[in-house]
């Protein structure tokens, strides 16, 4: 598939790298040659120096036969203009990054669609929604919903009080098989486990389960349910403002920011929230603002380092749930090892969102980017596929993958050794990054 | 338990060897071409070639069996792989020379193969009379493969390399200051370039077979001309056939062999527009015309013009042959005199466009430097002017100029050190320097020009190995090979 990405910013670059590893034809368009040079010499894609809203450069990159045009510069008007041009020049689908919730309204969206922007992504909005999900399910590190919530992927960090610790997966102290351990993350390393692997203290364990058994999973992990009422936000970034805007009724929100102008601005647009001017790295400021009383601490400044450190501080103050925005991908796995609760990354959200748009065309396979180095894929079982030949336990499947669940006639069931996969099922597979090609051949 | 862990190899040797395995298998397939030729002409070298192909294929196959823990390859691997590939392929490629017909010594056979792969075209064979046709064909096949680069060929056909590591290989092998991609994925770019190459080769062979040449000669010359190598099937080279038609065809295709293949690809697919907007191409054409005029003047002064051919096709042929680094000389070139020799030296260094099959320092680099000099002089008068070097109508960054300067400095260094080393080995001073220059530029004009002997057979073995190294340095554009000799490369 030919994909043109306009804008070599953080989101654009990340998408380009990721999609080029997925064997797509990528052309990255930007007008900063120095930035393009780094990417050009190291990745299997083509770069083009030109303006994203120039007719001639869009023609030069051959937008007329592009299957997807993604405009992800930081400026929404430029993105929309650029999509409009691309669409008229013949791009099949266009995606524009926006920065304004008004556009997401279905009626307004229709107007934009007329102009030429087929899909809109609003990374800050996605991030805000993910934060809310993390606050509702605050006992989990990661909460992913597949199949409209019919199937759940829950990542939990296990501390001392779980009955699961130090026992092999084949003899877990549970009677039922209402969940799967799909992956274990231990010190930067993701393990796709089999029956002989053990769960250790401080592992992040990823369960796949269905909604009726959430309670059970939570209990065996030794976690308590807690309802979050008050959230303290550090940093008045765009994500913070978006979150406050969307959820100021569900939560009592206080935002601390160290830019007076920004504070005044937020005070006018977010009348239901408390806005405080101060430096969040200063412990006195946190004390003054009664950090002890808050159920959740959200570090959403533009600096990943500040976010990680201030979450650690908040944990020391005894805040039960902390969430850090870690935009720097190198820090992401380091941050997960630290005791800072959930980490969010705008880039990963945006790219996984675009991925879904991309794969809409190809219905047999959709993929969710859950973790840094593992993937959850939903694969359609084709006629006469190898995987339908016998029950799962007799298949001699390759290592490094877990068949988690299947969807048959809209009914979701977990897979165990005796399950016999049939044609036309959708199978949810958990695997390490880059091994998906090996797995796909079982389904074709 | 299978775990995902970043295996941080210092150098991912298993993966490296595996890729080289692929390349060896491909080489063994190419060995089947002379094998078939031996079969057609009923030569008994058939079996020898089959054995050589078998050995290479088996070694390659064995290496392909290696199971690396990770497929990751970084810059370090790519550079090492490129260097190793060319050496290892030459080692296997020399097997036929050791066993079949010629029975060369190891030094001679390696020199001959390296000279082939780098499209230098310098030979140690005293005469081609009595040499089996299969060997003659193998020499030309080797040049053809080396012309555009075997790694590039592999990138086109082996999907395994179609990822970011392949990009590094592409950068390490393809000539030029910067590298144009034709298509987003490196395998398509490689396919495009090889497509153009194969098309030109077929056209050339067809055109040549209309001349007085036999089909076998046309085939061999086709392969060695488009790759701007210059191996022939006759001792007298193309003078054997003495045909104006032949010379014109050769001129056209040597010229095309010296043009940037990306440019040719774009022209063929109708995306090119006016080729004269490409600065390097324009200069290439201008340089050819200027040198041609130079030769004509020289011939007139020396009073050598016996008929119109001496003033038209002969000097033009000579110009293109040298500039494109094919290195075929006119039989009476010795008589042309010292101005021609001087002109020749300049042309050898100059070479033709980057991204072509030719050697030399490439016109592109000289264009950059001359434009840079122009701006420097301008700045002396107007110190506060801000200027950039514009190539193809676009401004370039300062690092391009820096890279070019570093390249030319190394070019001169290699010639000086190589020349000195060879004169220590007992060669006359002028010959040693000329050989080094000819080797690094992959021209393959040899000692016959300076009058030492007909070919490279006489020079000592040590000098042959040194020249082989210099040819490789020249073909991979210096940095790739010299980097392997720097401590930084090996430092953990």
Residue B164 to residue A27, Cβ atoms within 8 A? no
- What are the angstrom distances between the C-alpha of B131 and each of B60, B141, B222, B422? 28, 16, 19, 29
Q: List all residues of chain A from 364 to 393 with a beta carbon under 8 Å from chain B.
A: 373-374
CA distance B395 to chain A (A): 11
Distance (Å, whole) CA B224 – CA B239: 16
Residue of B nearest to A29 (CA): B184
Instruction: Decide if A165 is inside a domain.
Output: yes
Q: Is A41 an 8 Å CB contact of chain B?
A: yes
Q: What is the mean pLDDT of residues A200-216?
A: 82
| Residue B198 pLDDT greater than 90, yes or no | yes
When the pLDDT of each residue in chain A is averaged and rounded to a whole number, the result is: 82
Q: What percent of chain A has pLDDT over 70?
A: 94
Instruction: Decide if A360 is inside a domain.
Output: no
Residue B184 to residue A193, Cβ atoms within 8 A? no
pTM of the model: 0.79
CA distance B218 to chain A (A): 38
Which range, A87-96, A364-373, B331-340, B394-403, has the best average confidence (pLDDT)? A87-96
pLDDT band at B3 (very low <50, low <70, confident <90, very high): very low
Picking from B1, B4, B159 by the largest number of A CB atoms within 10 A of its own CB, the best residue to mutate is B4
Q: B271-298, pLDDT tens digit by residue?
A: 767 888 888 899 999 999 999 998 888 8
Residue of A nearest to B271 (CA): A60
Q: Indicate the residue of A34, A41, A196 with minimum beta-carbon distance to B1.
A: A196
Q: List all residues of chain A from 173 to 192 with a beta carbon under 8 Å from chain B.
A: 188-192
Q: Is A197 an 8 Å CB contact of chain B?
A: yes
Residue A43 to residue B184, Cβ atoms within 8 A? no
Residue that terminates a domain, selected from A291, A317, A348: A348
Burial of A402 (0-12, 13-18, 19+ CB in 10 A): buried
pLDDT band at B473 (very low <50, low <70, confident <90, very high): very high
Q: Which of A5-14, A423-432, B137-146 has the lowest mean pLDDT?
A: A423-432
Residue A191 to residue B166, Cβ atoms within 8 A? no
Q: What percent of chain B has pLDDT over 70?
A: 94
Q: B402-453, pLDDT tens digit by residue?
A: 989 999 999 999 999 999 999 998 888 888 888 899 889 988 776 555 554 5
| Residue B188 pLDDT greater than 60, yes or no | yes
Q: What is the pLDDT of residue B255?
A: 92
CATH value at residue A271: 3.40.50.720
Tallying the residues shown for chain B, one arrives at: 492
Picking from B158, B174, B184, B399 by the largest number of A CB atoms within 10 A of its own CB, the best residue to mutate is B184
Check whether residue A270 and residue A161 sit in a common domain.
no
**Residue scoring higher pLDDT (B38 or A159):** B38
Residue A20 to residue B166, Cβ atoms within 8 A? no
Residue B186 to residue A44, Cβ atoms within 8 A? yes
Distance (Å, whole) CA B433 – CA B447: 10
Residue that terminates a domain, selected from A202, A220, A238: A220
CA distance B271 to chain A (A): 9
Q: Indicate the residue of B1, B167, B183 with minimum beta-carbon distance to A43.
A: B167
**Residue scoring higher pLDDT (B236 or A127):** A127
ipTM: 0.71
Q: What is the pLDDT of residue B454?
A: 58
| Residue A389 pLDDT greater than 60, yes or no | yes
pLDDT band at B90 (very low <50, low <70, confident <90, very high): very high
**Residue scoring higher pLDDT (B125 or B414):** B414
pLDDT band at A150 (very low <50, low <70, confident <90, very high): confident
Residue B2 to residue A44, Cβ atoms within 8 A? no
Check whether residue A175 and residue A87 sit in a common domain.
no
Instruction: Decide if A373 is inside a domain.
Output: no
Q: Is A20 an 8 Å CB contact of chain B?
A: yes
DSSP string, B204-233: HHHHHHTTTS-HHHHHHHHHHHHTT----S
Domain count, chain A: 3
Q: What is the mean pLDDT of residues A365-373?
A: 54
Chain A residues close to B2, C-beta within 8 Å: 191-192, 399-400, 432
Q: What percent of chain B has pLDDT over 90?
A: 27
Chain B residues close to A197, C-beta within 8 Å: 1
Check whether residue A41 and residue A114 sit in a common domain.
yes
| Residue B200 pLDDT greater than 90, yes or no | yes
Distance (Å, whole) CA B185 – CA A78: 28
Q: Is A280 helix (H, G, I), strand (E, B) or coil?
A: coil
Instruction: Decide if A366 is inside a domain.
Output: no
- Which DSSP state fits B360? S
CATH value at residue A190: 3.30.70.1450
- What are the angstrom distances between the C-alpha of A131 and each of A100, A147, A224, A242, A343? 18, 20, 19, 11, 9
Find where tokens 């290195």 sit. B327
Q: What is the pLDDT of residue A4?
A: 92
| Residue A359 pLDDT greater than 80, yes or no | no
Check whether residue A216 and residue A285 sit in a common domain.
no
Check whether residue A67 and residue A99 sit in a common domain.
yes
Q: Which of A36-45, A264-273, A387-396 has the lowest mean pLDDT?
A: A387-396
Q: Where are the beta strands (DSSP E) in B224-342?
A: none
Q: Domain range for residue A291?
A: 230-348
Check whether residue A71 and residue A48 sit in a common domain.
yes
CA distance B182 to chain A (A): 8
Find where tokens 């909005």 sit. A125
Residue that terminates a domain, selected from A316, A348, A380: A348
DSSP string, B105-136: -HHHHHHHHHHHHTT------S--TT--HHHH
Instruction: Decide if A376 is inside a domain.
Output: no
Q: What is the pLDDT of residue B449?
A: 52
Q: Indicate the residue of B2, B167, B394 with minimum beta-carbon distance to A44.
A: B167
Binding-site residues on chain B for chain A (CB distance < 8 A) = 1-5, 162-164, 166-168, 171, 181, 183-186, 188, 394, 397
Check whether residue A91 and residue A185 sit in a common domain.
no
Residue A189 to residue B5, Cβ atoms within 8 A? yes
- What are the angstrom distances between the C-alpha of A121 and each of A95, A281, A354, A359? 7, 32, 8, 15
Q: Which of A193-202, B137-146, B223-232 has the lowest mean pLDDT?
A: A193-202
Q: List all residues of chain A from 47 to 66 with a beta carbon under 8 Å from chain B.
A: 49
C-beta separation of B211 from B225 below 8 A: no
Instruction: Decide if A430 is inside a domain.
Output: no
- The count of CB pairs under 8 A between chains A and B is 63
Query: What HEC string does B46-68 produce?
Result: HHHHHHHHHHHHHHHHHHHCCCC
Q: What is the mean pLDDT of residues A116-142?
A: 86
Check whether residue A214 and residue A252 sit in a common domain.
no
Nearest 10 degrees: Cα torsion A112, A117, A118, A119: -100
C-beta separation of A66 from A91 below 8 A: yes
Residue A432 to residue B163, Cβ atoms within 8 A? no
Residue of A nearest to B182 (CA): A46
Check whether residue A245 and residue A296 sit in a common domain.
yes
C-beta separation of B307 from B319 below 8 A: no
Q: Indicate the residue of B163, B171, B188 with minimum beta-carbon distance to A21.
A: B163
| Residue A364 pLDDT greater than 50, yes or no | no
Q: What tokens were used for A267?
A: 């005070």
| Residue B369 pLDDT greater than 50, yes or no | yes
Q: What is the pLDDT of residue B360?
A: 86
| Residue A193 pLDDT greater than 70, yes or no | yes
When the pLDDT of each residue in chain B is averaged and rounded to a whole number, the result is: 85
C-beta separation of A375 from A351 below 8 A: no
CA distance A437 to chain B (A): 12
pLDDT band at A363 (very low <50, low <70, confident <90, very high): very low
Chain A residues close to B162, C-beta within 8 Å: 23, 44
Q: What is the mean pLDDT of residues A359-378?
A: 58
Chain A residues close to B156, C-beta within 8 Å: none
Distance (Å, whole) CA A117 – CA A70: 10
Q: Is A323 an 8 Å CB contact of chain B?
A: no
Instruction: Decide if A193 is inside a domain.
Output: yes
pLDDT band at A76 (very low <50, low <70, confident <90, very high): confident
Q: Indicate the residue of B1, B162, B184 with minimum beta-carbon distance to A27.
A: B184
Q: What tokens were used for A305?
A: 């380092």
Check whether residue A237 and residue A216 sit in a common domain.
no
pLDDT band at B7 (very low <50, low <70, confident <90, very high): very low
Residue A41 to residue B397, Cβ atoms within 8 A? no
Residue A194 to residue B181, Cβ atoms within 8 A? no
CA distance B272 to chain A (A): 11
Q: Indicate the residue of B1, B166, B167 with minimum beta-carbon distance to A191.
A: B1
Q: What is the pLDDT of residue B5?
A: 43
Q: Which of A239-248, B88-97, B160-169 has the lowest mean pLDDT?
A: B160-169
Residue B167 to residue A41, Cβ atoms within 8 A? yes
Check whether residue A156 and residue A75 sit in a common domain.
no
Residue A44 to residue B5, Cβ atoms within 8 A? no
Q: What is the pLDDT of residue B9?
A: 55
Q: List all residues of chain A from 396 to 415 with a beta carbon under 8 Å from chain B.
A: 399-400
Burial of A287 (0-12, 13-18, 19+ CB in 10 A): exposed
Instruction: Decide if A11 is inside a domain.
Output: yes
Q: Which of A193-202, B87-96, B467-476 has the lowest mean pLDDT?
A: A193-202
Check whether residue A111 and residue A10 sit in a common domain.
yes
Q: What is the pLDDT of residue B75?
A: 79
Residue A23 to residue B162, Cβ atoms within 8 A? yes
CB atoms < 10 A from the CB of B185, how many?
A: 23
Q: B223-270, pLDDT tens digit by residue?
A: 999 988 888 888 777 778 888 888 899 999 999 999 988 889 888 887
Residue B164 to residue A43, Cβ atoms within 8 A? yes
């Amino acid at each position: 598939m030919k994909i043109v990405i306009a804008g070599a910013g953080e989101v654009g670059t990340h998408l380009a790298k990721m999609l080029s590893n997925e064997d797509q034809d990528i052309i990255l368009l930007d007008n900063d040659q120095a930035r393009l040079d780094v990417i050009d010499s190291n990745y299997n894609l083509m770069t083009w120096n030109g303006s994203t809203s120039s007719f001639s450069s869009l023609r030069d990159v051959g937008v007329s036969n592009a299957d997807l045009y993604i405009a992800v510069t930081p400026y929404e008007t430029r993105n929309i203009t650029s999509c409009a041009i691309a669409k008229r020049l013949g791009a099949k689908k266009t995606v524009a990054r926006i920065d304004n919730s008004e556009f997401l309204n279905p009626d307004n969206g229709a107007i934009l669609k007329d102009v030429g922007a087929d899909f809109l992504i609003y990374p800050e909005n996605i991030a805000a929604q993910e934060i809310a999900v993390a606050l509702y399910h605050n006992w989990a590190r990661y909460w992913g919903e597949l199949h409209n919530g019919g199937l759940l992927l829950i990542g939990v960090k296990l501390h001392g009080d779980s009955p699961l610790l130090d026992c092999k997966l084949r003899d877990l102290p549970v009677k039922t098989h209402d969940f799967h351990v799909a992956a274990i993350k231990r010190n930067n390393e993701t393990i796709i486990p089999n029956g002989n692997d053990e769960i250790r203290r401080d592992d992040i364990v990823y369960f796949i389960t269905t909604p009726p058994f959430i309670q059970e999973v939570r209990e065996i992990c030794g976690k308590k349910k807690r309802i979050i009422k008050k959230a303290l936000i550090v940093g008045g970034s765009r994500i913070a403002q978006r979150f406050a805007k969307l959820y100021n009724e569900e939560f009592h929100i206080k935002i601390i920011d160290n830019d007076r102008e920004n504070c005044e601005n937020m005070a006018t647009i977010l009348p239901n929230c408390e806005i405080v001017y101060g430096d969040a790295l200063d412990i006195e400021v946190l004390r003054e603002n009664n950090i002890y009383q808050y159920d959740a601490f959200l570090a959403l400044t533009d600096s990943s380092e500040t976010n990680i450190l201030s979450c650690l501080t908040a944990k020391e103050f005894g805040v039960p749930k902390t969430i850090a925005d870690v935009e720097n991908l190198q820090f992401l796995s380091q941050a997960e090892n630290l005791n800072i609760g959930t980490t969010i990354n705008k880039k990963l959200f945006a790219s996984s969102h675009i991925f879904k748009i991309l794969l809409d065309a190809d219905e047999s396979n959709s993929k969710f980017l859950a973790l840094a180095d593992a993937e959850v894929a939903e694969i359609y079982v084709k006629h006469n596929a190898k995987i339908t030949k016998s029950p799962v336990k007799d298949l001699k499947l390759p290592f490094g993958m877990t068949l988690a669940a299947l969807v048959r006639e809209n009914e979701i069931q977990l897979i165990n050794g005796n399950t016999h996969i049939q044609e036309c099922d959708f199978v949810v597979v958990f695997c390490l990054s880059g091994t998906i090609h090996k797995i796909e051949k079982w389904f074709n | 338990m299978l775990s995902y862990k970043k295996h941080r190899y210092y150098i991912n040797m298993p993966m490296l060897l595996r890729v080289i395995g692929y390349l060896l298998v491909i080489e063994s397939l190419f060995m089947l071409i002379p094998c078939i030729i031996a079969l057609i002409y009923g030569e008994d070298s058939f079996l020898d070639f089959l054995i050589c192909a078998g050995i290479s294929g088996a070694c390659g196959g064995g290496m392909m069996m290696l199971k690396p823990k990770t497929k990751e390859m970084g810059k370090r691997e790519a550079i090492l792989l490129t260097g190793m590939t060319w050496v290892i392929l030459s080692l296997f490629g020399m097997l036929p020379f050791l066993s079949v017909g010629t029975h060369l010594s190891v030094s001679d056979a390696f020199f001959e193969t390296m000279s082939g792969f780098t499209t230098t075209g310098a030979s140690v064979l005293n005469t081609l009379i009595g040499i089996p046709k299969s060997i003659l064909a193998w020499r030309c096949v080797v040049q053809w493969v080396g012309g555009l680069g075997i790694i590039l060929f592999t990138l086109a056909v082996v999907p395994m390399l179609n990822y970011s590591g392949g990009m590094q290989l592409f950068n390490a092998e393809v000539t030029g200051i910067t590298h144009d991609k034709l298509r987003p994925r490196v395998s398509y770019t490689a396919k495009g370039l090889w497509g153009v190459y194969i098309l030109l080769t077929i056209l050339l062979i067809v055109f040549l077979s209309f001349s007085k040449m036999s089909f076998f000669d046309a085939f061999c010359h086709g392969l060695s001309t488009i790759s701007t190598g210059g191996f022939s099937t006759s001792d007298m080279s193309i003078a054997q056939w003495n045909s104006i038609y032949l010379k014109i065809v050769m001129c056209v295709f040597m010229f095309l062999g010296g043009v940037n293949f990306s440019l040719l690809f774009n022209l063929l697919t109708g995306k090119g527009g006016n080729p004269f907007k490409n600065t390097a191409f324009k200069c290439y054409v201008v340089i050819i015309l200027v040198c041609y005029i130079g030769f004509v003047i020289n011939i007139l002064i020396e009073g050598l013009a016996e008929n119109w051919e001496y003033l038209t096709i002969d000097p033009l042929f000579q110009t293109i042959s040298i500039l494109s680094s094919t290195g075929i000389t006119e039989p009476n070139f010795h008589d042309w005199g010292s101005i021609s020799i001087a002109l020749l030296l300049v042309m050898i260094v100059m070479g033709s466009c980057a991204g072509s099959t030719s050697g030399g320092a490439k016109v592109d680099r000289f264009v950059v430097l001359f434009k840079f000099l122009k701006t420097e002089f301008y700045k002396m008068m107007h110190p506060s002017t801000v200027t950039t070097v514009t190539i193809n109508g676009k401004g370039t960054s300062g690092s391009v100029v820096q890279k070019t300067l570093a390249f030319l400095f190394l070019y001169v260094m290699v010639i000086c050190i190589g020349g000195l080393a060879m004169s220590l080995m007992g060669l006359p001073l002028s010959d040693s320097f000329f050989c080094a220059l000819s080797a690094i530029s992959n021209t393959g004009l040899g000692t016959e020009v300076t009058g030492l002997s007909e070919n490279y057979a006489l020079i000592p073995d040590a000098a042959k190995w040194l020249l082989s190294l210099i040819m490789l340095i020249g073909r991979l554009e210096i940095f790739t090979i010299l980097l392997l000799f720097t401590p930084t490369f090996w430092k953990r």
